[in-house]
Chains A and B, each alone.
Chain A
Amino acid sequence: MTSLLPFNAGDLLDCNAINLDVLTENYDISFYLEYMYYWPDLLFKSVSRTRNVGYMIGKSEGAGLEWHSHITAVTVDMEYRRLGLGRVLVDLLKLASEAPDQNCYFMDLYVRTSNRIAVDMYKLFGFAPFRRVVGYYGQGRDQDAFDMRMPLKRDPHRKSLIKGPHTYESSQNRYKYDKKSLS
């Protein structure tokens, strides 16, 4: 039995079984608190009885057609995997991103291109690789990321998946959009 509830600062002391996982990053306390005060409606947790078993940390950003929500962290306790909790957390962020207060065009996330399991999972959730961000991960910035996107209700023509004049590019990153780079 898992319930979806808002994730707040008091929960940060009760996430050890989730955060001890090797792939789950532990951030400085200010990181979480900043998300909580900037995007109070975009953080959720999954709870089994009184135990926190997963969480989603999201944010919204961008200008014009690039206004979108972003999955910063989504993670599930190892014992509670393969139940679809990750998908439910993503669905919840989707709902919140489409809500009038956010009204985003799309949702996005970054994932290592080498993490095929995660890439395939996000495809199943409705995300598609939009571009490859060269050297985004790794200490020597030697690992690429996929910027994966899911168009939302506000983008019925799925323009967010097409590179255009509106597409934001950070000067610190190099991007590739060709089909080969996205496979």
Chain B
Amino acid sequence: MSTKEIIAAINDRKYPQARQMIEKQIQAQPKNSGFVSMLCFVEFKQHNREAAIEAAKSAIALGISNVPILNSFICPVLSAYGEKALMNQAFEAATRREPATRQTAELWSEYGFDLSYTKAILRAQTALNKVASSKEAVLSCCLFMALERKAMNPADPEFKLYPMLACRLLDKARPITAPQHAYVEALVLEMTSKEKMAEYLLSPAVRAYDSLDLDVMLLNNLLELENWSEIFAYAQMQLSQLDSFNYWQALVKASVKLGKTEEFKQFAQGFKGHNVCIANIDFAIEQNMDPLPAVQTFWEKMGTKASAPQFIEPYLTQSVIDFLSTVSARSFTETVNIVKINYKWTKQADVAALVKLYNANLDQLPAEKTDYFIGDDLLLVAAVHILGGTDSDRFYKAALLLETAQANDPHQFYVRLWLVRIYRYLGAFEKAKDHFDALRIRHLQHESLGFLLTTRAGSLSPNRAITRHAIDIHSKANLTGTYAQSALGKGSFTQIPGMLDLAEKLRLSLSRILVEFEALKTERVLKGTVSLSDVFNRASEYIDNRDFKTSFDPCGVASHYCETGPRQGTEWVEAQIAKEKVYLGVLRGNTTQTPVSSLSSELTDQEKWNIEVVNSLGRGDFQWLAPPVNGDELSWEIFHTGYTLCETCKVVEDVFAKQKTNAPPQLKQAKKELLEVISTIQKAVQQQKYAKNVAKWASSLGIKQADRVLGSIQQSQLRSLSQLINALN
């Protein structure tokens, strides 16, 4: 058989046949790195991660000098698994005997950017610089030496070598005439001496660039050096151009260190904004003085601004609270600010009083529809407070308050963010999706906010459209690495670290794999075709880009309210991958599977149950346990139980079908029993047992249209239940 035949089998996705042919070739030519590389690729395609990596290591040890082999069989595997160091080793091995060609160096660089691996990019840029030197290529090498050194162990021999090498290289890039180039020179100088870096950044030639990057770099450099007299002068000079708090912070420190308190006070008098007010508070604290007078001045000037509670947060003390209790509010915004601060401090709220205050100020709704109504914050405080309580109707009451705020101020996104959470908790999934859609969450926002709708979506409200957007954004993840490469070519050096950072965050996205599992569960429940390959090809480390902090949460304790199960993380993902491996192994006839641990606190009871059933399939001694059903009230849990049961039954049926035996009768029985529970819950929803109480409560607070809101929640819940019943039947 020829290499051509093997490649044809790989191209035709006949991997077992390809493997047989490759293994024969390896037996005949054990030192042929090409066949070992092909084996690596075939193992990868068959989801054998460890075997694929082992084959890659062997191929690298043998030395792969053929770049097409490297590019076709090794790089895609190591890239998919995120094996950065191994990838770099592969290229180093490939260029050991002969210097890299331009093609090899470019490929090396490309994969380096794909994996945000500065070491590989540096090696590739060095190789490229040797092949075709240019000013940009030289500066690129210098930039990556500096970036790479920041992550290095000082004991590494290159730690001492890079400063010298970079300085020498930089001479080839002179004259430095642009701020982007000066940024690289500053980084190079930083490697040799922070004093030299400061001297350079303070030089008239660099100051003339008027570059924000260089300004910020200089300030941080001076702070590291604790060069207080220079900071004192530099911060004042910068502040005379732009009011930026980082300079105030530095000036406060420098003034106190140098004992220039009078000079500071005199300088500060020339400023009016919020920054100087805060700087005065910090100045008092740095001098161990009572900050209250400065806080009072801050409040006098800024108390009517919506941001005042945010600014004052780090300085809250009982004496500040006492002071605020004496303030006679000059505007509705100031009243709301004081309410928010008090709530933050006491964690106590009088819901009736908040609603009354809201209703009394509805005449202040902004005329401009795109402006925000500060009164919304009152209902948000009330709703969050109710959600933190134990009242059994709390979700309905909070929803009523927030729907009231939303009706008056449709674009208030903090209100909608809470409504999405509450409605998902209550099983009113259509309503949750309506509010989510109204938030116009698009593009990259799906990465950080998509979890609001996609968390456990496959086992709460399986819907292909919900997971689609989130997956689409991830198809663009590699784009970021490509842009970073283009930025390097364009000499936009200051943007490179940020682009590499984003590329890494997207490549190792936890959101991404969570959504992929939801898509998989959705397909399984909706009886579509399930592909597991993507899940297995992901890297094993994850970065959590979910944004839990963009939420109205004055006390910082509400982010866990209304969650549909424990927050998922790496353990959850690992458990699901292990479970899928067991399932796939059983389908392939392998009955000696390692059981999946179901101990993680990131798993719900239903997910633990699902894993136990799959484990029994893996062991070859199928055991059917009754699925956990918690409570008889409607919440997300009944849906989670129902759809997890559907998914589990599908897995069991698949395995029994593969073994050409009938599915066990317990599956139907379990569905039947759950349908009975659901029927009871459905009747309770139809009767709206909670409605009378909640409507009475709303009426006592002067909240109108409670019946309409509660009715729409009920309708949405009933539709969700119908879908679940259909899935179980």
Interface residues of A (CB under 8 A from B): 1-6, 8-14, 16-17, 19-23, 26-30, 33-34, 36-38, 40-41, 44, 48, 78-84, 88, 91-92, 95-96, 98-101, 117
Choose one: A23, A78, A84, A88; the contact of B306 (CB below 8 Å).
A78
In the complex, chain B residues 420-456 whose Cβ is within 8 Å of any chain A Cβ: 439-445, 447-449
Residue B490 interfacial (CB < 8 Å): yes
> What does DSSP make chain B's interface, helix, strand, loop or mixed?
helix
Chain B 600-639 interface 0/1 with A at a Cβ cutoff of 8 Å (1 = within): 0000000000000000000000000000000000000000
**Which of chain A's residues have a CB closer than 8 A to the CB of B311?**
1, 48
Q: A2-B275, A6-B216, A8-B498 are in contact. Are A19 and B445 (CB under 8 A)?
A: yes
* Known contacts A37-B495, A41-B494, A79-B307, A1 near B274 by CB under 8 Å: yes
Is the pair B305, A83 in contact by a Cβ cutoff of 8 Å?
yes
Note all chain B residues with C-beta closer than 8 A to A117. Answer: 368
B209 touches A101 (CB 8 A): yes
Question: CB < 8 Å: which of A9, A16, A48 contacts B550?
Answer: A16
B501 sits at the interface (CB 8 A): yes
Which partner residue on chain B sits nearest A31 by CB separation? B443
Measured CB to CB, the nearest residue on chain A to B504 is A10
Chain A proximity of B281: nearest CB distance (Å): 9
- A44 x B483 contact (CB < 8 A): no
Q: Among the interface residues B279, B445, B447, which one has the most CB atoms of the partner chain A within 10 A?
A: B445
Whole-angstrom distance between the alpha carbons of A13 and B450 in the complex?
Answer: 12
CB neighbours of B161 from chain A (8 A)? none
- Are B274 and A99 in contact, CB atoms less than 8 angstroms apart? no
Report the stretch among B150-158, B162-170, B238-246 that lies at the interface: B238-246
Supplied contacts A13-B505, A37-B486, 11 more A-B pairs, CB within 8 Å: A1-B249, A6-B213, A6-B216, A16-B449, A21-B411, A29-B444, A29-B480, A36-B499, A40-B180, A41-B213, A82-B305
User: Is the Cβ of A5 less than 8 Å from the Cβ of B212?
Assistant: yes
Contacts of B213 in A (CB 8 A): 6, 40-41
Decide: A79 near B306, CB < 8 A? Known: A88-B242, A95-B210, A96-B210: yes
Q: Say which residue of A4, A30, A36 sits within 8 Å of B212 (CB atoms).
A: A4
**C-alpha spacing A20/B310, complex, angstroms:** 19
One of B448, B479, B495 near A30 (C-beta < 8 A) = B479
Which residues from chain A contact B370 at a C-beta distance below 8 Å?
22-23
- Distance in Å: Cβ of B477 to nearest Cβ of chain A: 9
Asked if A83 and B494 sit within 8 Å, CB to CB, the answer is no
Beta-carbon contact of B209 and A1 below 8 Å: no
- When chains A and B are docked, how far (Å) is the Cα of A28 from the Cα of B311? 32
- Partner of B545 from the list A13, A19, A34 (CB cut-off 8 Å) is A13
Is the CB of B563 closer than 8 A to any CB of chain A?
Answer: no
CB < 8 Å: which of B211, B443, B447, B487 contacts A37? B487
Question: Is there an interface contact between A9 and B439, defined as CB atoms closer than 8 Å?
Answer: no
Q: Specify which of A78, A84, A99 is in contact with B273 (CB 8 Å cutoff).
A: A84
Q: By the criterion CB–CB under 8 Å, are B483 and A33 in contact?
A: yes
**Interface contact A95-B242, CB-CB below 8 Å:** yes
Residues of A within 8 A of B486 (CB): 37
Evaluate contact between B448 and A16: CB separation under 8 angstroms. Answer: yes
- Closest B residue to A91 by CB, please name it: B242
User: 5 tightest A-B contacts by CB?
Assistant: A8-B498, A99-B210, A37-B487, A22-B411, A40-B492
Contact present for A16 and B547 (CB under 8 Å): yes
Among B245, B480, B499, the residue within 8 A (CB) of A2 is B245
Q: Which B447-505 residues have C-beta < 8 A from chain A?
A: 447-449, 473, 476, 479-480, 483-484, 486-487, 490, 492-495, 497-499, 501-502, 505
Given A13-B547, A117-B368; A33-B212 close (CB under 8 Å) = no
- Residues on the B chain within 8 Å of A17, using CB: 550
The answer to whether residues A78 and B372 also contact, given A1-B275, A3-B245, A29-B444 and a CB cut-off of 8 A, is yes
- Is B273 within 8 A of A100, CB to CB? no
B383 near A: Cβ within 8 Å?
no
Select which of B212, B441, B443, B498 is within 8 A of A44 by beta carbon. Answer: B212
A9-B501, A11-B498, A88-B243 known; A100 and B208 CB under 8 Å?
yes
- Whether B179 contacts A3 by the Cβ 8 Å rule is no
Query: B274 — which chain A residues lie within 8 A by C-beta?
Result: 1-2, 83
Residues of A within 8 A of B249 (CB): 1
Distance between Cα atoms of A134 and B502 in the complex (Å): 39
Decide if B550 touches A92 in the complex (CB within 8 Å).
no
Contact B180 A1 (CB under 8 A): no
Question: Bound complex: CA of A99 vs CA of B180, how far in Å?
Answer: 13
- Contact sample, A vs B, 22 pairs, CB 8 Å cutoff: A1-B248, A1-B249, A3-B244, A6-B494, A8-B501, A9-B480, A9-B501, A10-B505, A13-B444, A17-B550, A20-B550, A29-B476, A33-B483, A36-B483, A36-B492, A37-B499, A38-B492, A48-B307, A80-B307, A80-B310, A96-B210, A99-B209
Q: Given the known A-B contacts A3-B245, A36-B483, are A41 and B180 also in contact in the complex, defined by CB atoms under 8 Å?
A: yes
Alpha-carbon gap, A75 to B592, bound state (A): 58
Q: How far is the CB of B277 from chain A (nearest CB, A)?
A: 9
Taking the closest CB of chain A, its distance from the CB of B333, in whole angstroms, is: 9
B295 lies within 8 A of chain A by Cβ: no
Residue of B nearest to A2 (CB): B245
Q: A54 vs B505: C-alpha distance in the bound complex, in angstroms?
A: 22
Residues of A within 8 A of B368 (CB): 117
Nearest B residue (CB) for A53: B307
CB-based contact A8/B495 at 8 Å: yes
Interface centre among A6, A13, A27, A99 (most CB of B within 10 A): A13
Instruction: For the complex formed, measure the closest distance between the CB of A76 and the CB atoms of chain B, giving whole angstroms.
Output: 10
Contact of A40 among B241, B487, B545, B550 (CB under 8 A): B487
- Those of B241-281 within 8 Å (CB) of chain A: 241-246, 248-249, 273-275, 278-279
